[in-house]
Amino acid sequence: MNIGIVVHSQSGYTAKVARLLGAEFSKKGHDPHTVLLRTTGKVAPGSTSFEIRNAPEVDGYDCIILGAPVWAFRASPVIMKYLGGLGRLSGKKVLCFVTKGLPFLWTGGRQALAAMEGELALSDAAMLPGEIIWAPACRSEAKLQPVIGRMVAACAG
Ligand SMILES: Cc1cc2nc3c(=O)[nH]c(=O)nc-3n(C[C@H](O)[C@H](O)[C@H](O)COP(=O)(O)O)c2cc1C
């Protein structure tokens, strides 16, 4: 299965989840391709005046995983801009995840995930259950293993 893993990450937690996902998909015999979204200039919560320099096409993927940090109770503007440009995703599985620093789900995790999934509502993708990951857990690969396992099983199942 061809898997696209497309994430925005500023301090590296979301990127680490992406790296572990890629390793787990490879171990299971899949073909993952990971892209860390890069922008022109600095981006902060609420930014609109930036461009994504390396937005990947997703035509070749059977499954797409999209990840981003929660910023100021929202999904990062970078991933939202990328999702807004995706168009139709008929026949593809899609799973969104966010990483977040504050410990409760109501401090932006649910809102951010709902916004990402909402942006894809008209894409015709087969949406898989999203994940909210607490950033401190990202410091330990062992702590991340259950969520990595769930995401890989959902995509490859
Ligand atoms: C500008 C900014 C705003 C943030 N806002 C929130 C927030 O509203 N809720 C939360 O749980 N974490 C918040 N965080 C913490 C990040 O979501 C968390 O550290 C995340 O895992 C960073 O991902 P990254 O390392 O991939 O950039 C914020 C971080 C930054 C830099």
Q: Reduce the secondary structure of the chain to three states and give it as a string.
A: CEEEEEECCCCCHHHHHHHHHHHHHHHCCCEEEEEECCECCCCCCCCCCCCECCCCCCCCCCEEEEEEEEECCEECHHHHHHHHCCCCCCCCEEEEEEEECCCCCCCCHHHHHHHHHHHCCCCCCEECCCEEEEHHHHHCHHHHHHHHHHHHHHHHC
Mean pLDDT of 116-132: 97
In angstroms, the CA 120 to CA 88 distance is 9
Residue 65 has pLDDT above 90, yes or no: yes
Q: For ligand 1, what atom is nearest to the CA of residue 74?
A: 8
Residue 112 pLDDT level (bands cut at 50, 70, 90): very high
Domain with 22, as residue range(s), is 2-156
Q: How many domains does the chain fold into?
A: 1
**Going by DSSP bridges, is the β-strand pair 74-75/63-71 parallel, antiparallel, or unpaired?**
antiparallel
Distance from Cα 60 to the centre of ligand 1, integer Å: 31
Mean pLDDT of 6-17: 98
User: Average pLDDT over the chain, rounded to whole?
Assistant: 96
Residue 5 has pLDDT above 90, yes or no: yes
Ligand 1 site, residue 111, Cβ cutoff 6 A: no
Name the residue of 70, 98, 132, 144 whose CB sits within 8 Å of the most ligand 1 atoms, as the mutation to test its pocket. 70
Q: What does the pLDDT read at residue 6?
A: 98
Ligand 1 site, residue 69, Cβ cutoff 6 A: yes
Q: What does the pLDDT read at residue 157?
A: 77
- Which CATH number does the domain housing residue 107 bear? 3.40.50.360
Q: What does the pLDDT read at residue 105?
A: 76
Q: What is the pTM of this model?
A: 0.97
Q: What does the pLDDT read at residue 41?
A: 86
Ligand 1 site, residue 134, Cβ cutoff 6 A: no
Q: What does the pLDDT read at residue 61?
A: 98
Percentage of residues in the chain having pLDDT higher than 70: 100
In angstroms, the CA 126 to CA 61 distance is 13
Which residue is closest in CA terms to ligand 1's atom 2? 71
